[in-house]
Amino acid sequence: MAKIKLTDQQQRRIDSNHQARAEKTSDGMHGLVIGQAGHQLDVETSDGVVRCSRRKNIGAIVTGDNVVLEAVPPNEYVITAVLPRTSLLARPDFRGQMKAIAANLDRIFIICSVRPELNEGLIDRYLVAAETLGITPVLVLNKIDLADDEQQLNILRDRVSLYAKLGYELIESSAKNQQGIDALLNSLHMHTSIMVGQSGVGKSSLVNALLPEVNIKTKEISESTNKGMHTTSASRLYHLPKGGSLIDSPGVREFGMWQVSAEELFDGFVEFREYKGLCKFSNCQHKSEPQCAILEAIEAKEISESRYESYKRILESLTE
Ligand SMILES: Nc1nc2c(ncn2[C@@H]2O[C@H](COP(=O)(O)OP(=O)(O)OP(=O)(O)O)[C@@H](O)[C@H]2O)c(=O)[nH]1
Ligand SMILES: [Mg+2]
Ligand SMILES: [Zn+2]
């Protein structure tokens, strides 16, 4: 008897699963892309995580994308559409072609560290990208345990304090000593965030520290160059236990910006905005023109010289 009863139950479950799947596929089954494996994508669905191929000609699909998929019996899945995105972080690859990094983000954690040493030029580029996309940036100074002494730490703190003065949230952390983890969790809560930055600054180590059940591979930086080994090769999304998600991304050498217009670049430097339209000449390039509001603000120490130099370097790269 027991055996028959069980079989009935199983049959009902199988029937209802079939029914559910048929309903889902009739208007497409929905899923969230959580990672990539070669040309295939890992998609989280109500049936669990499935590895999918993709229909041709539907454009880039990246981690964070909401997609529609179809089951191809017996057990394959194919992505047939990408749902509209709220944001798409992208950068030019080494061939100058646009490479999408992640979609539907609302926060970007710019990770920098004591070693490799922080690079303000790169931070500024990420800030411009975040401002252009309307994503909130958060700056993280990681590996503070590696500072030789209080003096070195204070010099670094002084350098990053510029960004706090501009109104950006700034978090100090050590993935090694579990420092700053609560502050990071607070800032990540309920958001869809990505960790970006140079290779070896400790992005994956921070994800491991934030989510103890996750165990991403990390690798020591080169002793001779103090540079990371490009350990993470694809972006991957992890869920935060109290809500929100976090994407770990591969480290970069640089962050090219040619998709940004000169005006977006200007607006991307938040402290420049209040001087917009105040220069004597409406087509002012803010280089050496008389009565340039930006140059005057630098003179008055209201805009930092280093941020202005950074702006000029990015502007030059846009026209190269
Ligand atoms: N001392 C110290 N070492 C750290 C800290 N965070 C990370 N590391 C070490 O730094 C090295 C690089 O860390 P990863 O987490 O692989 O760096 P990543 O930013 O993910 O690098 P990519 O994946 O290449 O972009 C590893 O050897 C980590 O153990 C930290 O807070 N303190
Ligand atoms: Mg990594
Ligand atoms: Zn000007």
Question: For position 290, which CATH number holds?
Answer: 1.10.40.50
Whether 228 and 178 have beta carbons less than 8 Å apart is answered as: no
CA 56 to chain centre: 26
Q: Is 249 touching ligand 1 by the criterion CB < 6 Å?
A: no
Whether 142 and 175 have beta carbons less than 8 Å apart is answered as: yes
Whether residue 227 sits in one domain with residue 119: yes
Q: How much is the pLDDT for 259?
A: 77
Tokens of 254: 């640089």
Q: Is 146 touching ligand 1 by the criterion CB < 6 Å?
A: yes
Q: Is the dihedral of CA 197, 200, 201, 204 positive or negative?
A: positive
Last residue of a domain, one of 51, 82, 113: 82
Q: How much is the pLDDT for 115?
A: 96
Residue 172 located in a structural domain: yes
Whether residue 223 sits in one domain with residue 273: no
What is d(CA 192, CA 115) in angstroms, rounded to the nearest whole number?
Answer: 27
What distance in angstroms lies between residue 231's CA and the mean position of ligand 2's atoms? 5
Whether residue 97 sits in one domain with residue 49: no
Whether 187 and 138 have beta carbons less than 8 Å apart is answered as: yes
Whether residue 278 sits in one domain with residue 244: no
Residue 236 vs residues 68, 207, 254, 272, 317: alpha-carbon distances, Å = 19, 11, 20, 35, 30
Whether residue 102 sits in one domain with residue 227: yes
Encode burial over 201-227: b for 16+ CB neighbours within 10 A, e otherwise: bbbbbbbbbbbeeeebebeebeeeeee
What distance in angstroms lies between residue 288's CA and the mean position of ligand 3's atoms? 8
Residue 260 located in a structural domain: no
Tokens of 202: 């400790």
Residue 175 located in a structural domain: yes
Atom of ligand 1 nearest to the CA of 220: 27
Phi and psi based region of residue 164 (left: phi greater than 0; alpha: psi -120 to 50; beta: remaining) = alpha
Q: How much is the pLDDT for 92?
A: 82
Phi and psi based region of residue 73 (left: phi greater than 0; alpha: psi -120 to 50; beta: remaining) = beta
Q: Which of 52, 98, 30, 85 is nearest to 257 (CA)?
A: 98
Last residue of a domain, one of 53, 82, 111: 82
Whether residue 109 sits in one domain with residue 42: no
Residue 263 located in a structural domain: no
Q: How much is the pLDDT for 187?
A: 98
Whether residue 277 sits in one domain with residue 304: yes
Residue 171 located in a structural domain: yes
How many structural domains are present in the chain?
A: 3
pLDDT in 10s for each residue of the chain, 320 residues? 334 455 566 556 655 554 554 444 456 899 999 999 888 999 999 989 999 999 998 999 999 999 999 999 988 999 999 999 999 999 888 787 888 999 999 999 999 999 999 999 999 999 999 999 999 999 999 999 999 999 999 999 999 999 999 999 999 999 999 999 999 999 999 999 999 999 999 999 999 999 999 999 999 999 889 899 999 999 999 999 999 999 999 998 888 877 789 999 999 999 999 999 999 999 999 999 999 999 999 999 999 999 999 999 999 988 76
Q: Is 201 touching ligand 1 by the criterion CB < 6 Å?
A: yes
Whether residue 96 sits in one domain with residue 58: no
Minimal-distance CA residue to ligand 1 atom 30: 143
**What CATH number is given to the structural domain containing 198?**
3.40.50.300
Q: How much is the pLDDT for 9?
A: 60
Whether 217 and 231 have beta carbons less than 8 Å apart is answered as: yes
Q: Is 198 touching ligand 1 by the criterion CB < 6 Å?
A: no
Q: Which domain holds residue 298?
A: 269-319
3-state SS track over 118-135 = CCHHHHHHHHHHHHHHCC
Which ligand is located closest to the Cα atom of residue 200? 1
Residue 160 located in a structural domain: yes
Q: How much is the pLDDT for 28?
A: 80
Q: Is 24 touching ligand 1 by the criterion CB < 6 Å?
A: no
What distance in angstroms lies between residue 302's CA and the mean position of ligand 3's atoms? 14
